[in-house]
Amino acid sequence: MKHVKQEFNKDSSDCIALLGSTGSIGTQTLDVARRLGLRVCSLSANANIKKLEEQTREFRPAIVSVFSQEAARDFKVRVGDLDVQVVSGMDGLIEAACADDAHTVVTAVVGTIGLLPTLAAIALGKRIALANKETLVCAGEYVMNSAKEHGCEIIPVDSEHSALFQCLCGENPKDIKNLILTASGGPFRGMTHNALINATPEMALRHPNWSMGKKISIDSATLMNKGLEVIEAVHLFAINPDRIKVVIHPESIIHSMIEYTDNSVIAQMSEPDMRLPIQYAITYPQRCSSQISELDFSKYSSLTFESPDFETFPCLRLALQTAGISGTACAVLNGANEAAVDLFLQGKLGFYGIFESVQAALSHIGNVVNPSIDDIIEADRAAKDFVYMQKN
Ligand code: MG
């Protein structure tokens, strides 16, 4: 049978709201939108108003949210000739997430700032294309319950979780034996603890396979990213953390795998390009032609696998230990990590200072069982305050 180029059959699902449009996932989402001919009904960014103006002129959204109030005022002047509503702050971000026409909300903001807008969009029954893993790490139980209650689909954009989601299509979740999350190993794979004591942000930002934002690049260097992804998978797939394995796979071709009860393992593969999971989350259950290169097996004579090195990358161990604790512990882990990565990027904390800060926050801040959303937000704030206070 000849391959026929498959266009996206849009129906009513052709309009997206995009939270975090100027970041790495945001700009790649707009690449996908351009290619699929999607409408974009809202855009949002923190303060990069130059890029946001270009995006606004191209996609003509009805609402644009600029988180910083000062930047929002400047932005309003810049787009004075356009028919666009400019909003700001957390209320503005929530308004952008709830934009009337949006069928799918792509949550590409970084950090716990994504939590409330995501919950607001869930309450309206919109599809969530979830790229903001911190939302599930902090408040996974709460978010998944809310999605169930409102009949809302959460489709992962994180490449590993998109892979798992795809490996699960047509299968019974009851037949899952283990989830196998692959990890590239990051820029410091194969290095020792001693060699990394003086690792700098510049060294940590050089990821071998993926081009990503700064926060996630540092999380990839410490392997905290993989730990956060295990917690994300716990909630997305309602599975115990002891049934999630992490395997280092430096080529980043297999994006994750599911081992079923009969020991059959199903893997999802592609070139490492985030536009594929982004597109799939928008078009699911359809598959359409994409701008991603075909996988050329002649280029990859071997695919390799190794076990993670928990001594050199203690953040991964810490995250796996925390993954099994229900309550606010994961919110503390995540919040402390966010602050510690910020301090590391500013040169105020060493590479292993990230691990030490997160570990100290976890032992200092008590776990609240059955937390409300306010408890979760408070745990996040307390963890960040704790880490910043240690350095000031
Ligand atoms: Mg990932």
Q: pLDDT, tens digit, for every residue of 299-347? A: 888 999 999 999 999 999 999 999 999 999 999 999 999 999 999 999 9
Segment 271-284 mean pLDDT: 97
User: In angstroms, what is the span from residue 215 Cα to ligand 1's centroid?
Assistant: 12
User: In angstroms, what is the span from residue 186 Cα to ligand 1's centroid?
Assistant: 11
Query: Cβ neighbours of residue 242 under 8 Å, at least 6 residues apart?
Result: 324
How far, in Å, are 336, 344, 353 from residue 387 at the CA level? 6, 11, 10
How far, in Å, are 109, 217, 283, 377 from residue 24 at the CA level? 10, 11, 20, 26
Is the CB of residue 124 less than 8 Å from the CB of residue 98?
Answer: yes
Q: What pLDDT, on the 0 to 100 scale, is given for residue 6?
A: 77
DSSP state for residue 86 in the 8-state scheme? E
Is the CB of residue 36 less than 8 Å from the CB of residue 57?
Answer: no
User: In angstroms, what is the span from residue 184 Cα to ligand 1's centroid?
Assistant: 10
Q: What pLDDT, on the 0 to 100 scale, is given for residue 7?
A: 80
Query: Cβ neighbours of residue 192 under 8 Å, at least 6 residues apart?
Result: 312
Which amino acid would we find at residue 115? L
Q: Is 344 exposed, middle or buried (0-12, 13-18, 19+ CB in 10 A)?
A: buried
Helix H or strand E encompassing 192: none
Q: CA 360, 362, 363, 368: dihedral to nearest 10 degrees?
A: 150
User: In angstroms, what is the span from residue 291 Cα to ligand 1's centroid?
Assistant: 20
What is the side-by-side order of every strand in the sheet holding 265-269? Answer: 244-248, 176-183, 254-260, 265-269
Is the CB of residue 119 less than 8 Å from the CB of residue 90?
Answer: no
Of 320, 273, 323, the C-alpha closest to 157 is: 273
Predicted model pTM? 0.94
Q: Name the pLDDT band for 178 (thresholds 50, 70, 90).
A: very high
User: In angstroms, what is the span from residue 159 Cα to ligand 1's centroid?
Assistant: 5
SS3 state at 336? helix
Half-sphere exposure of 270 (CA within 13 A, CB side): 18
User: In angstroms, what is the span from residue 319 Cα to ligand 1's centroid?
Assistant: 15
Segment 348-376 mean pLDDT: 97
User: In angstroms, what is the span from residue 69 Cα to ligand 1's centroid?
Assistant: 31
DSSP state for residue 383 in the 8-state scheme? H
User: In angstroms, what is the span from residue 71 Cα to ligand 1's centroid?
Assistant: 30
Which amino acid would we find at residue 197? I
Strands (E), 144-226: 154-156, 176-183
pLDDT at 1 over 70: no
pLDDT, the chain, mean: 95
Give the C-alpha separation, 217 to 204, whole Å: 7
User: In angstroms, what is the span from residue 321 Cα to ligand 1's centroid?
Assistant: 19
User: In angstroms, what is the span from residue 70 Cα to ligand 1's centroid?
Assistant: 33
User: In angstroms, what is the span from residue 14 Cα to ligand 1's centroid?
Assistant: 26
User: In angstroms, what is the span from residue 1 Cα to ligand 1's centroid?
Assistant: 34
Of 360, 339, 350, the C-alpha closest to 201 is: 350
Q: Name the pLDDT band for 209 (thresholds 50, 70, 90).
A: confident
Q: Which of 23-27, 139-143, 207-211 has the lowest mean pLDDT?
A: 207-211
User: In angstroms, what is the span from residue 229 Cα to ligand 1's centroid?
Assistant: 7
User: In angstroms, what is the span from residue 255 Cα to ligand 1's centroid?
Assistant: 8
User: In angstroms, what is the span from residue 79 Cα to ligand 1's centroid?
Assistant: 35
Is the CB of residue 201 less than 8 Å from the CB of residue 351?
Answer: no
Buried b / exposed e along 286-310 (16+ C-beta atoms within 10 A): eebebebeeeeeeeeeeeeeeebbe
Percent of the chain with pLDDT over 90: 91
Query: Cβ neighbours of residue 231 under 8 Å, at least 6 residues apart?
Result: 136, 137, 140, 241, 319, 322, 323, 330, 333
Give the C-alpha separation, 198 to 344, whole Å: 11
User: In angstroms, what is the span from residue 136 Cα to ligand 1's centroid?
Assistant: 13
